[in-house]
Amino acid sequence: MIQSIPVQYTLRPASPEAHLFEVTVTVLQPAKNGQVFFLPAWIPGSYMIREFSKHIVSLSAEASGKTVALRQLDKNRWQAEPAKGALTLRYQVYAYDLSVRGAYLDAERGFFNGTSVFLAADGYQDEPCTVDIHGPDGKFYADWKVATSLPAADIKKKSGFGRYQASNYDELIDHPVELGNFKKVSFKACGVPHEFVVSGRFQGDLKRLAEDTRKICEYQIQLFGEPAPFDRYVFMLFVGKDIYGGLEHRASTALVANRDDLPAPGAAEISDGYLKLLGLISHEYFHSWNVKRMKPAAFTPYDLNREGHTRLLWAFEGITSYYDDLALVRCGLIDEKRYLGLLAETITGVQRGAGRLKQTLEQSSFEAWTKYYRQDENSPNSIVSYYTKGSLAALALDLLIRRDSKGKQSLDDVMRALWAKWLADGKGLEEDEWEKIAIEATGLKLKPFFDLALRSTQDLPLAELLASQGVELKFEAAQGASDRGGVVDAFAGKPAPLTLGVKTAADAAGVKLAQVLDGGAAQAAGLSGGDVVVAVDKLRAVDLDKQIARYQAGDKIKLHAFRRDELMSFDVTLQPAAEDTCRLKLLPNGGKWIASR
């Protein structure tokens, strides 16, 4: 025990087979009226109440060798009886969440976010703390190591087990930890040491991954200006099957992806899967500036016991989503045409959702806690993503600034002005402050744009703004379920195929309607999300698109479907697909903004 550190933690993978971490927290001078402890209800960067306290399996307290009674105050807070001397809580946490948001432990690896395992000592959140991280017992775990960006105090050089320190509780929970026999590659970006840790079973070219990541990092550091806002950075990637996601932290990021997304040894090209992974890496790294430091005032400080509402998520997630793919072309990993292909798919995704006509970007941001993170079968009809439409608002703003300043300014200048403001005062942004800084930085009259893009449900003027940069946009009907738009040399103008206006999912009994879209033939006939179509005109339902392809627009067909356990029949009038699929055409000498730095 260190007498000068008021709060001290220990963590041990006590039972990997049972997925249990054992944690202790010691408070040297507990509150006289009984020390209160709490576990966060959510994790910054993922705007949903997660109720991490549900994973606490056992909880006890002692002081001076005697048991101290604990009383639960609510879902995530406990109070100890008054105690003399240092007070220690001991508890176990069940860890079997493979996502980047929680904690995971088995015989292969361990991972945790501090929000899932470290009870906060109320009243001591601003005080320094330490955590001693131990490895599991037994020879089987002899090769386990630690990867984290948490500052080291006294650790074993080879394994990394030992004591780490944090200046306060907020810092403690902002450094996730990976445990296991992972692979690691290192590199420097603008002189800053970076580590890339990969766990899981895979075959991949980690040297190439490190080199490509270095290019992304250097572009972003140079965009905001050196030095980087951290002395060291750690990427932690777990690869498996059918997983994808990332979560940003102040000097690290936790990532999960498909193992096949890693670059294959000897492969010259960037596969679609690897491109998706690079975009994720770029996105989370950009957050090092945009939301981990520059952030809404509503997040300074975070209230981890309840929702923190802001209308600015479009700026912190949407703008990050704009720059994540843009960084790939600006650092030389892909060319302009491939970037435009990614952009076309984003435009298509937004255009196909009727929710864009019902929810503004500010509403999408504010309602993230109850709508975006709690989606159901009707979500495409009722909400719009502050990630995707937010990225298109960022694109439109960038192109507008470039056009109206005659190429002298861009969104880059706004981001640098925001960064300079944070470096000067370290304060969060009030709800109207982002727009004010953008207007001041450019000297342009941007309020009409913000009113349209953020506070109305009108479509963004993308065709007009892209045309000003030599890119032509046209919406055409999708030519099949896999057609998400892209770059073309010429607009084809192909006839619109028939569609039911649904999104489907596999089901053993037939074809499940995951979502029924507004204005579509299925909705007009009375079909609903969750229905399982079993027959199309008395033939077994297998592939709905193929089965209706031989009909004509206006033809009536009969669908049989199960709703719960009830067989129902529906008379459907077939419709042609809407023109909602984006095609982009790069004109001669067009698209120069894409690669400009």
CATH class, domain 7-179, is mainly beta
Q: pTM (2 decimals)?
A: 0.96
Q: Is the domain covering 289-471 a CATH 1.10.390.10 domain?
A: yes
- CA angle, 89 as apex, 83 and 90 as ends, to 5°? 145
Stretch(es) of the chain classified as CATH 2.60.40.3650: 7-179
Host H or E run for residue 214: helix 206-224
CATH superfamily of the 498-576 domain: PDZ domain (2.30.42.10)
- CA angle, 513 as apex, 512 and 515 as ends, to 5°? 145
Stretch(es) of the chain classified as CATH 1.10.390.10: 289-471
Burial code (b: 16+ CB inside 10 Å, e: under 16) for 386-396 equals bbbbbbbbbbb
d(CA 44, CA 579) in angstroms, rounded, equals: 38
Stretch(es) of the chain classified as CATH 2.30.42.10: 498-576
d(CA 81, CA 131) in angstroms, rounded, equals: 24
The residue count for the chain: 597
87-94 and 245-248: which strand pairing? Answer: unpaired
d(CA 392, CA 349) in angstroms, rounded, equals: 11
Report the candidate in 336, 337, 351, 341 with the shortest Cα–Cα distance to residue 475.
Answer: 351
Backbone dihedral angles phi then psi of residue 416, each to the nearest 5 degrees: -70, -35
The CATH architecture assigned to 182-271 reads 2-Layer Sandwich (3.30)
DSSP letter at 591 equals -
**Tens place of pLDDT for every residue, the chain, 597 residues?**
667 899 999 999 999 999 999 999 999 999 999 999 999 999 999 999 999 999 999 999 999 999 999 999 999 999 999 999 999 999 999 999 999 999 999 999 999 999 999 999 999 999 999 999 999 999 999 999 999 999 999 999 999 999 999 999 999 999 999 999 999 999 999 999 999 999 999 999 999 999 999 999 999 999 999 999 999 999 999 999 999 999 999 999 999 999 999 999 989 899 999 999 999 999 999 999 999 999 999 999 999 999 999 999 999 999 999 999 999 999 999 999 999 999 999 999 999 999 999 999 999 999 999 999 999 999 999 999 999 999 999 999 999 999 999 999 999 999 999 999 999 999 999 999 999 999 999 999 999 999 999 999 999 999 999 999 999 999 999 998 899 999 999 998 889 999 999 999 999 999 999 999 999 999 999 999 999 999 999 999 999 999 999 999 999 999 999 999 999 999 999 999 999 999 999 999 999 889 876
Count CB-CB contacts under 10 A for residue 318. Answer: 27
